[in-house]
Amino acid sequence: MGPIHSPLKVKKDAKIGVLCGGMSSEREVSLRSGRNCFEALKRLGYINACIIDVDRNIANKLLEEKIEVAFITLHGKYGEDGCIQGLLEVIGIPYTGCGVKASAVCMDKEFTKRIMKTHSIPVIDSILITSPDQLADKKADLEFPLMVKPVSEGSSIGMARVQNLQELEQAVKHAVKYDARIMLEKFLEGKSVTIGVLDVDGKPMATPILELRSKTGWYDFEAKYTAGLTDFILPAEIDEAMTKYTQGLAVKAHKAVEARGMSRVDFIVTENEAYLLEINTIPGMTDLSDLPAQAKAMGIEYDRLVEIILNSAF
């Protein structure tokens, strides 16, 4: 692949606030992403970049620091779900990544599935419950094994794979600590893969496919953030036809939710199909994160990736 260009839009002396930390269960991951991006901005010559730990006083912090551009590295609630994006819109500060609508939709796995279905993008069959008491009414519709997922959480937090009704009941009790709405999704055997989508020169481009082979049984929080617990196969060991097909689905999904800047789309790939699991609008930027590795495989080093994301603010 040849060199990737995009016009420089943010001045080197702009006051850039790297928003990280936050109030979600993914706070520690966000702090790591934020630190990495801040250091990259400094290496790139953005001399006035600073780190801002997001809390309920964030509006005042942004105004006091006279932030001109917000580089969002928040994950989870209040940061990836449209909340911080809406606040920045009101204040009038340009920000990186997706807007309010795409952020809110993609944070909600159930709404994401609804939109994917309207665009003929395959998703896995699931049932939505809003209380553990509803399990009794759903027994006849359940087929084990199942994945239990809080609808609006990331990094596999609150998720579990269950083999029977007893495990399901315990998993749901745990999951409701993170979200009142719980998705019960059929577990499919297949390759766990992820594809980045980057808007470069106004055109969404799919990265090479990254295959994730977890040593914990499935790609859970521990496997995601503990070195050595996941084998990263890049490019994924998938035939050329399926590779192009799945990359096409990723770009189609990115466009369907009107994402901008970047996204990371997760799939389960079986022998004959690729099923979309979710769309991440603020992918992790830690040392173990997927998007930086995928970008590097297409010739984009970490600092260049940070600058591409930065320019998505305009």
Average pLDDT, rounded, for the chain:
91
pLDDT at 43: 98
pTM of the full structure: 0.89
d(CA 30, CA 138) in angstroms, rounded, equals: 36
> Residue with structure tokens 């060199």?
3
Q: Which amino acid is at 188?
A: L
Domain residues of the chain, as ranges? 16-97, 104-122+189-311, 126-186
Band of pLDDT at residue 26, cut at 50, 70 and 90: confident
Torsional sign, CA 110, 116, 120, 123: negative
Is the pLDDT at 39 greater than 80, yes or no? Answer: yes
CATH class of 104-122+189-311: alpha beta
Which H or E run contains 182? strand 182-186
**Burial class (CB within 10 angstroms; exposed 0-12, middle 13-18, buried 19+) of 8:** exposed
Options 3.50.30.40, 3.40.50.880, 3.40.640.10, 3.30.1490.20; CATH of 126-186:
3.30.1490.20
What's the pLDDT tens digit per position in 202-248?
Answer: 899 999 999 998 776 666 666 665 667 788 899 999 999 999 999 99
Whose structure tokens read 């795409």? Answer: 102
Q: What's the pLDDT score for residue 230?
A: 80
String of DSSP letters for 103-171: HHHHH-HHHHHHHHHHTT--B--EEEESSGGGHHHHGGG--SSEEEEETT--TTTT-EEESSHHHHHHH
| Fold matches, 16-97 and 126-186 | no
Structure tokens at 204: 């969404």
Q: Is 194 helix (H, G, I), strand (E, B) or coil?
A: strand
Q: How many CB atoms lie within 10 A of CB 137?
A: 9
d(CA 134, CA 298): 46
Q: What is the mean pLDDT of residues 13-42?
A: 95
pLDDT score recorded for residue 294: 95
Read off φ and ψ for residue 20, nearest 5 degrees. Answer: -150, 180
Contact 192, 219 (CB under 8 A): yes
- Comparing 77-81, 92-96, 249-253, 265-269, the range with the smallest average pLDDT is 77-81
Whole-angstrom Cα distance, residue 239 to residue 57?
50
Query: What fold characterizes domain 16-97?
Result: Rossmann fold (3.40.50)
Model confidence band, residue 108 (pLDDT cutoffs 50, 70, 90): very high
Residues 127, 188: contact at Cβ < 8 Å? no
Q: What is the helix, strand, coil percentage profile of the chain, to 5? A: 35, 25, 40
By C-alpha distance, which of 222, 217, 213, 224 is closest to 269? Answer: 213
pLDDT at 146 over 90: yes
* pLDDT (0 to 100) of residue 155: 54
Share of the chain above pLDDT 90, in %: 75
Whether 2 shows a pLDDT value over 60: the answer reads no
Contact 281, 97 (CB under 8 A): yes
pLDDT tier at 292 (50, 70, 90 boundaries)?
very high
Burial of 86 (0-12, 13-18, 19+ CB in 10 A): middle
The answer, yes or no, to whether residue 3 has pLDDT greater than 60, is no
Q: How many whole angstroms separate alpha carbon 58 and alpha carbon 79?
A: 11
> Which residues are tagged catalytic?
26, 155, 225, 264, 266, 278, 280, 284
Angle of helix 27-43 versus helix 302-311 axis, rounded to 10: 100
Put the strands of the sheet holding 69-72 in their side by side order. 50-54, 16-21, 69-72
Angle at 236 between CA 241 and CA 209, to 5 degrees: 80
Cis check for the bond before 208: say yes or no (omega within 30 of 0): no
Please state the rounded mean pLDDT for residues 181-191.
Answer: 93
